[in-house]
Chain A
Amino acid sequence: MAETAASGPGMPQLDVTTFSNQIFWLVVAMVVLYFVMSRVALPRVASVLADRRSAITADIAAAEEYKLKAQEAEEAFKKAEADARAEAARIVEAAKAEMQEALNAQIAKADAEIASKSAESEKRIREITANAVEMVNEVSTDVTKDILAAFDVKADARSVNAAVKAQMKGDA
């Protein structure tokens, strides 16, 4: 532009003739922008931010509540579990006791049987032993009589018997 170059110095910034124009349009622009910002833009953004903040606070509160509920549910579950465990333990204990009782009864019965059987056996053994002793007595008396007869020794039956008995006692 020839006229601006001619009217002003080399730096357009120092061309005083354009100052009033620039300042006028600057004031217009600033006033318009100020009203747009302060009346429309900033309240809107502020309300959006406030809404979001309150929504986040509400959500956090709800989450806190849900957490509490979850904790309660967990506690209830734990309690139920503990109850079930106790019940199961009780049942197991009862079954064990029952089994122990049955076992004890069986053992007692078996013991009794064994005892009776062994008593019987003992008795028979004793009988057999007694018989054997009797027979040994008889045999030794006879043998003694025979030996005495062979040697022509007179001896009455009673003293032979007594001697054999004494001999047997000493052995036994």
Chain B
Amino acid sequence: MAEESGGLHIAPMDQFRVESLFGGDIAWYTPTNVTLWMALTVVAATLLMVFGARGRAMVPSRAQSAAEMTYGFIYKMVEDVAGHDAVRFFPYIFTLFMFVLFANLLGLIPFAFTTTSHIAVTAVLAFTVFFTVTALGFILHGTKFLKLFWVSSAPLALRPVLALIEVISYFVRPVSHSIRLAGAMMAGHAVAKVFAGFAAALGAFFFLPILAVTALYALELLVAVIQAYVFTILTCVYLKDALHPAH
């Protein structure tokens, strides 16, 4: 491994280790740092949406205003992107958004564990969306759902080729959906760790990497929110394909 042979002792991937909270082997039920940070994510989302909006005030407080704005933002996104009949999936999409958003943001706390940087987590989220959407498409439209892959506006000769491409892109969707989120989270945290390692190695010029890390941190804050947004909006786009498969 790199960190053992070089002069720099940077282990950028160590922060992603899954560790048991109370020691011992990791079985499927063991409370780990995954458990801890997912619980904190749930608590943070609950604090904002339940206790923030507790006042039910006509003129909202700051927290209530934030809760209402988040609600309105996601509601409008579902309605605009996936259509009005997608509103019944709004709680699910909202849950996804809140979970990804708070997992990303809490992961930015130093020494935190970023649950969304793990392929296993994001793949479960993405494949849940994928299977739900596919099943929904077949339930609502039966075999007509397959017209999604048959581009009727293209010339007849091109259609089989396009159908092949469409099928491949359809099955790549959950992969890119999950790897995008995990990769973006992993990349930012690893780069931050590498820069932090430079600070130790540069001696008197330690402040340069620290300035870089500060700038990077601002970028990561943006990325954390945008990735949550992108994950949610892509879910809406896939949902739209299931509800209205016609091209």
Contacts and interface: CB of A to CB of B under 8 A. Distances in A.
Whether A and B touch directly in their complex, counting CB atoms under 8 A apart, is answered as yes
Interface string B68-109: 100110000000000000000011101100110000000000
B28 A37 contact: no
Given A4-B19, A21-B30, A33 B99 contact: yes
The prevalent SS among residues of A at the interface is: helix
A99 interface: no
B25 A3 contact: yes
The prevalent SS among residues of B at the interface is: helix
A19 B120 contact: yes
Contacts of A30: 95, 99, 125
Contacts of B1: 10
B236 interface: no
Interface string B34-67: 1100110110011001100100111010001001
Interface stretch (A45-53, A76-84, A111-119, A138-146): A45-53
Interface residues of B, number: 51
Interface stretch (B10-18, B153-161, B212-220, B223-231): B10-18
Interface string A18-40: 11111111111110111011101
A36 B56 CA distance: 17
A22 B25 CA distance: 14
A3 B24 CA distance: 10
B182 interface: yes
Interface stretch (B111-119, B138-146, B192-200, B237-245): B111-119
A46 B87 CA distance: 13
B172 interface: no
B34 A22 contact: yes
B133 interface: no
B121 interface: yes
Nearest to B30: A21
A61 interface: no
A92 interface: no
23 contacts: A12-B118, A13-B186, A17-B26, A21-B26, A21-B27, A21-B32, A22-B34, A22-B118, A23-B120, A24-B28, A25-B35, A26-B124, A30-B95, A33-B41, A34-B91, A36-B49, A37-B95, A40-B50, A42-B49, A42-B90, A45-B53, A49-B71, A49-B72
Given A11-B13, A33-B46, A42-B71, 8 more contacts: A4-B18, A13-B182, A21-B30, A23-B121, A37-B45, A37-B91, A41-B46, A45-B71
